[in-house]
């Protein structure tokens, strides 16, 4: 009985949280191709994939890890949050802050990550010059390393896409495939 109640609470919580999150579906494409709109759409594709990779995950899914050396699904999702912070920080002209709030729930991590992707996409969509977006990483010795926007593409953005694929694989292996009707090609959900 207790497990049924826990399941129902989780289901209701996931449903309530999912209703106000970005990337249930992708918005219409921009009218013109610019460096900013292309980079924005890349982040949107990541956001859409992340939304559906993390939608409907169970406690069992979040604890899953393929080997004892690997990260759990939740640890992988937490890493994606860090990558989203790296991207947004660069776009907002801030140093990357790697401090972590250990009290975040899965729902909080998911919401923050999706919102970070959405904010990043909006900044990029309106950008005229991507060279102004520098990634600044403060190292333990106090020095700050600076990287051009190119490193965002092959660094945090590509890495996040990679890890979203891992989340999908982990959930499938744990017996919870992606929800039916999600079209990664069109960015829409077939009813």
- pLDDT of 79 over the 80 cut: yes
Between the alpha carbon of residue 30 and those of residues 87, 131, 138, 159, the distances in Å are: 21, 21, 35, 25
The predicted structure's pLDDT at residue 4: 53
| Residue 60: domain span | 2-189
- Cβ partners under 8 Å of residue 157, min gap 6: 42, 43, 46, 83, 87
Cα–Cα dist 33/56, whole Å: 34
Say whether 154 sits in a helix, a strand or coil: helix
pLDDT in tens, 163-173: 999 999 999 99
The answer on pLDDT for 16 being more than 50 is no
User: How many separate domains does the chain show?
Assistant: 1
- Separation between Cα atoms, residue 157 and residue 42, nearest integer Å: 8
- With a cut of 60, say whether residue 10 has pLDDT above it: no
Q: CA 83 → CA 97, 117, 130, 160, 162, distances in Å?
A: 11, 10, 18, 6, 11
Coil vs helix vs strand at 148: coil
- C-alpha–C-alpha distance, residues 73 and 84, integer Å: 17
Q: Which residues contact 37 (CB under 8 A, 6 or more apart)?
A: 30, 124, 125
Report CA-CA distances (Å) from 16 to 37, 86, 98.
Answer: 31, 28, 29
> pLDDT tens-digit profile of 127-142?
999 999 999 998 888 8
Distance (Å, whole) CA 129 – CA 39: 11
CA distance 5 to 124: 43
CA dihedral 18, 22, 24, 25 (to 10 degrees): 170
- Residue 164, both tokens: 């979203």
Has residue 65 got a pLDDT over 50?
yes
Residue 66 belongs to domain with CATH number: 1.20.120.450
**Mean pLDDT lowest for which of 5-14, 16-25, 146-155?**
5-14
């Amino acid at each position: 009985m207790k497990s049924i109640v826990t399941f129902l609470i989780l289901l209701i919580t996931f449903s309530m949280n999912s209703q106000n999150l970005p990337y249930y579906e992708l918005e219409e494409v921009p009218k013109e191709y610019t460096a900013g709109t292309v980079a924005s759409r890349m982040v949107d594709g990541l956001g859409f994939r992340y939304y559906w990779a993390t939608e409907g995950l169970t406690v069992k899914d979040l604890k899953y890890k393929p080997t004892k050396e690997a990260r759990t699904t939740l640890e992988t999702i937490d890493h994606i949050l860090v990558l989203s912070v790296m991207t947004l920080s660069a776009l907002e002209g801030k140093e990357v802050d790697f401090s972590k709030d250990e009290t975040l729930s899965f729902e909080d991590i998911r919401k923050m990550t999706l919102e970070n992707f959405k904010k990043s996409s909006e900044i990029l969509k309106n950008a005229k010059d991507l060279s102004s977006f520098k990634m600044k990483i403060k190292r333990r010795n106090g020095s700050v390393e600076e990287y051009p926007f190119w490193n965002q593409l092959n660094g945090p953005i590509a890495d996040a896409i990679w890890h979203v694929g891992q989340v999908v694989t982990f959930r499938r292996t744990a017996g919870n495939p992606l929800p039916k009707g999600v079209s990664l090609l069109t960015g829409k959900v077939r009813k």
